[in-house]
């Protein structure tokens, strides 16, 4: 991948972060939207005495809820959520650390960066879930294979963003700090670090969903615990309400984590002009 | 004891010559402005003086820059005695006005309470009080340029380089800042090298005006500006002596404009 293309991709990712702040008070409408969605779902699954599809194909909200409660009572829900989240976060954390580290290192070591960039870009364009079976063969059904899958999914995205971020540091800001007598440490701390932080945050947000997706996929392919594993079991016996319940859990967990990250980001990057793009 | 540029020539590896045998001396406490047609190497000259010419660029450089006899090759050689005000807003966007203005003081290890006191003084001087905790993107262009000026004045550099610092501002704001800067300089008497493409501004602010030729930049002429300080830029522009001096320098500048146009004409490929 050419450098220009790479910058385009990462710039687009960066831009998605800069969305306009939501007007306060809009939570009424938001709650209403959720309620409406559930109402439509309920109406189409027997809520109005009309049920075109059997529960095994499309369960109602109530059936899904009952399945979820049973799942929670058995104690397995907490276990599975814990397992899946632990794997996703381990992979995510590892990917963030390694991706940022390698991104910064290669951006400074320009020649090495130039040499490795096409290789890493090629690896980045590989559909990461395709290596899931291989990882299961190598590392077994346990936690390691999922952590590694999440790691592989995340690390290139983080690397690409960090690398592009360091390389795009505004030279005029560097010159400004140098002109007032600042040395390399001042430039690194006051210019490069905050500049790159906004790129890393952009990567973080996409990476959270990616890490979760990778973990669940890994659990589909082969595991003994986790939300993905439980979903495969439920699918095997056509327990569709359970599948729906797990999907709801995944959605809630994913949304909560991404939203938390967004708030931290909004606070740390509050110096940015709030432009809707 | 002065800022000296001695026989400075600069040529890019591509063969483009930017500066040709430029020599000038700025006395301590003197305010000198540099004018010339666009692309004549004014900004490059400032960057060489600052020691900020990108070392990765392939440039061939002859001659030298010295400050009080010490040769300047990199920004570090200034040992903290340099200030540089850029045309472009180079406030760090993630720092508040307060944090930006005190950067130079932090580099010099000044204690926090002293920094705060100093920033408070400066901010009041240019009417920015109340904006200390505000991020740059929330300030107007004129306020940002004032903040940039304060950032430089805060650590009291001996030498200040200004590269078209008011170029991006509207006429009214520009006049206001010209007056503020001449007022401050009247008190502080730093050594200033001020680059501008605006001849009126060059005369209004400086004690001497250096006219550079079209590219490659050479010193064509140096003009003395005899008006005493403190000066009022608006009042000054209405004076007869000002008009005469302006006309005199303008003739030189216009000659360079024409020469540049002719050269461009000659270089243009014919259909």
- The reply to whether B109 falls in a domain is yes
pLDDT in tens, A169-207: 998 999 999 999 999 899 999 999 999 998 998 899 889
- Clarify whether residues A225 and A102 are in a common domain: yes
- Clarify whether residues A46 and A72 are in a common domain: no
pLDDT category at B114 given cuts 50, 70, 90 is: very high
Given an 8 Å threshold on Cβ–Cβ distance, is A182 in contact with B79? Answer: no
Given an 8 Å threshold on Cβ–Cβ distance, is A271 in contact with B93? Answer: yes
- Please check whether residue B205 touches A, CB under 8 A: no
pLDDT average, residue stretch B11-23: 89
- Clarify whether residues A117 and A79 are in a common domain: yes
- Clarify whether residues A127 and A29 are in a common domain: no
pLDDT in tens, A5-33: 333 434 333 333 344 455 556 888 999 99
pLDDT in tens, A208-247: 999 999 999 999 998 889 999 999 999 999 999 999 999 9
User: Rounded distance, CA B107 to CA A185, Å?
Assistant: 10
Greatest CA separation for chain B = 68
- Clarify whether residues B28 and B130 are in a common domain: no
pLDDT of residue A16: 37
Q: For testing the chain A interface, which of B75, B87, B88 should be mutated: the one with the most A CBs within 10 Å?
A: B75
- Clarify whether residues B148 and B18 are in a common domain: no
Range of the domain at B145: 91-156
pLDDT average, residue stretch A111-140: 88
A175, A180, A271 ranked by CB distance to B103: nearest: A180
Tell me the nearest-neighbour CA distance from A113 into chain B, angstroms: 17
pLDDT average, residue stretch A101-115: 89
CB < 8 Å to A178, chain B = 52, 75-76
pLDDT of residue B19: 92
Given an 8 Å threshold on Cβ–Cβ distance, is A271 in contact with B95? Answer: yes
- Please check whether residue B86 touches A, CB under 8 A: yes
A173, A182, A183 ranked by CB distance to B90: nearest: A173
Higher pLDDT, A128 or A4: A128
CB < 8 Å to B86, chain A = 172, 175-176
pLDDT average, residue stretch B44-71: 86
- Clarify whether residues A261 and A147 are in a common domain: yes
- Clarify whether residues A213 and A196 are in a common domain: yes
- The reply to whether B149 falls in a domain is yes
pLDDT of residue B54: 65
- Clarify whether residues B76 and B164 are in a common domain: yes
- Clarify whether residues A33 and A89 are in a common domain: no
- Please check whether residue A175 touches B, CB under 8 A: yes
- The reply to whether B255 falls in a domain is no
Whether the per-residue pLDDT at A1 is higher than 60: the answer is: no
- Clarify whether residues A88 and A215 are in a common domain: yes
Coil, helix or strand at residue B117? helix
- Clarify whether residues A165 and A31 are in a common domain: no
- Please check whether residue A272 touches B, CB under 8 A: yes
- Clarify whether residues B66 and B163 are in a common domain: yes
Cα distances (angstroms) measured from residue A181 to each of A61, A177, B45, B147:
65, 7, 19, 18
- Clarify whether residues A150 and A254 are in a common domain: yes
- The reply to whether A141 falls in a domain is yes
ipTM value for the complex? 0.87
Give me the helix-helix angle, A76-108 and A143-167, nearest 10°: 30
Could you give the percent of chain B with pLDDT greater than 70?
A: 98
- Clarify whether residues B101 and B221 are in a common domain: no
Q: For testing the chain B interface, which of A169, A171, A176, A268 should be mutated: the one with the most B CBs within 10 Å?
A: A176
Instruction: Tell which residue, B229, B202, B236, B206, has the closest CA to residue B30.
Output: B206
User: Rounded distance, CA A94 to CA A88, Å?
Assistant: 10
pLDDT average, residue stretch B1-17: 88
pLDDT average, residue stretch A140-145: 91
- The reply to whether A42 falls in a domain is yes
User: Rounded distance, CA B192 to CA B162, Å?
Assistant: 8
pLDDT of residue A58: 92
Whether the per-residue pLDDT at A113 is higher than 90: the answer is: no
pLDDT of residue A64: 94
What is the β-pairing status of strands B59-67 and B70-71? antiparallel
Contact B217, B190 (CB under 8 A): no
- The reply to whether A119 falls in a domain is yes
pLDDT category at B9 given cuts 50, 70, 90 is: very high
Tell me the nearest-neighbour CA distance from B192 into chain A, angstroms: 15
Q: How many domains does chain A have?
A: 2
- Clarify whether residues A42 and A133 are in a common domain: no
Question: Could you tell me the strand order of the sheet in which B17-26 lies?
Answer: B17-26, B3-12, B59-67, B70-71
pLDDT average, residue stretch B243-269: 90
- Clarify whether residues B76 and B115 are in a common domain: no
Q: How many domains does chain B have?
A: 2
pLDDT of residue B127: 84
Phi, psi of B167 (to 5 degrees): -60, -35
pLDDT of residue A70: 95
pLDDT category at B270 given cuts 50, 70, 90 is: low
- The reply to whether B218 falls in a domain is yes
- Clarify whether residues B32 and B165 are in a common domain: yes
Q: Which residue of B has its CA nearest to A270?
A: B94
pLDDT of residue B100: 95
CB < 8 Å to A177, chain B = 92, 103
pLDDT of residue A12: 37
Range of the domain at A144: 59-268
Q: Check which CATH number belongs to the domain holding A232 and give it.
A: 1.10.3720.10
pLDDT of residue A6: 38
pLDDT of residue B266: 84
Q: For testing the chain A interface, which of B90, B108, B150 should be mutated: the one with the most A CBs within 10 Å?
A: B90
Q: Check which CATH number belongs to the domain holding B230 and give it.
A: 3.40.50.300
- Please check whether residue A236 touches B, CB under 8 A: no
Given an 8 Å threshold on Cβ–Cβ distance, is A181 in contact with B135? Answer: no
- Clarify whether residues B209 and B233 are in a common domain: yes
Which are the contacts of B88, defined by CB distance < 8 A and separation ≥ 6? A172, B168
């Amino acid at each position: 991948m050419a450098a220009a293309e790479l910058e385009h991709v990462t710039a687009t990712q960066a831009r998605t972060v800069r969305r306009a702040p939501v007007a306060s008070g809009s939570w009424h409408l938001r709650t209403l939207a959720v309620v409406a969605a559930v109402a439509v779902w309920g109406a189409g699954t027997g809520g109005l005495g009309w049920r075109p599809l059997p529960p095994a194909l499309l369960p109602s909200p109530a059936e899904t809820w009952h399945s979820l409660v049973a799942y929670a009572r058995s104690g397995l829900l907490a276990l599975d959520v814990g397992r899946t989240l632990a794997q996703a976060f381990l992979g995510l954390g590892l990917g963030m650390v390694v991706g940022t580290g390698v991104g910064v290192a290669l951006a400074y070591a320009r020649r090495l960066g130039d040499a490795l960039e096409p290789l890493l870009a090629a690896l980045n364009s590989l559909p990461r879930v395709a290596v899931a079976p291989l990882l299961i063969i190598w590392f077994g059904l346990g936690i390691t294979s999922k952590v590694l899958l999440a790691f592989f999914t995340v690390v290139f995205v983080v690397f690409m963003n960090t690398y592009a971020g360091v390389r795009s540091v505004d030279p005029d800001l560097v010159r400004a700090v140098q002109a007032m007598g600042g040395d390399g440490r001042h430039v690194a701390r006051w210019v490069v670090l905050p500049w790159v932080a906004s790129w890393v945050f952009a990567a973080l947000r996409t990476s959270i969903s990616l890490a979760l997706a990778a973990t669940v996929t890994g659990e589909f392919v082969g595991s003994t615990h986790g939300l993905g594993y439980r979903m495969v079991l439920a699918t095997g016996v056509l327990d569709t309400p359970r599948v729906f319940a797990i999907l709801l859990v995944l959605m809630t967990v994913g949304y909560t984590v991404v939203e938390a990250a967004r708030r931290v980001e909004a606070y740390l990057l509050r110096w940015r002009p709030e432009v809707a793009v | 004891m002065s800022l000296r540029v001695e026989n400075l020539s600069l040529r890019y590896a591509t063969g483009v010559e930017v500066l040709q045998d430029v020599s000038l001396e700025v006395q301590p406490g003197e305010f000198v402005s540099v004018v010339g047609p666009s692309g004549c190497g004014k900004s490059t000259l400032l960057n060489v003086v600052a020691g900020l010419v990108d070392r990765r660029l392939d440039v061939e450089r002859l001659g030298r820059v010295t400050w009080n006899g010490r040769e300047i090759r990199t920004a570090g050689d200034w040992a903290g005695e340099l200030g540089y005000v850029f045309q472009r807003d180079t406030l760090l966007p993630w720092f508040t006005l307060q944090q930006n203005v005190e950067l130079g003081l932090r580099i010099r290890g000044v204690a926090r309470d002293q920094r705060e006191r100093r920033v408070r003084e400066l901010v009041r001087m240019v009417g920015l009080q109340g904006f200390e905790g505000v991020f740059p993107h929330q300030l107007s262009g004129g306020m940002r340029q004032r903040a940039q000026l304060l950032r430089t004045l805060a650590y009291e550099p001996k030498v200040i380089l200004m590269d078209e610092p008011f170029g991006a501002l509207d006429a009214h704001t520009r006049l206001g800042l010209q007056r503020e800067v001449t007022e401050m300089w009247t008190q502080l008497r730093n050594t200033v090298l001020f680059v501008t493409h605006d001849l009126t501004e060059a005369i209004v602010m400086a004690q001497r005006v250096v006219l550079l030729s079209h590219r490659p930049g050479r010193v064509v002429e140096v003009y003395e500006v005899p008006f005493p300080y403190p000066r009022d830029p608006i009042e000054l522009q209405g004076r007869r002596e000002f008009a005469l001096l302006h006309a005199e320098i303008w003739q030189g500048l216009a000659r360079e404009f024409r020469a540049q146009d002719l050269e461009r004409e000659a270089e243009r490929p014919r259909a």
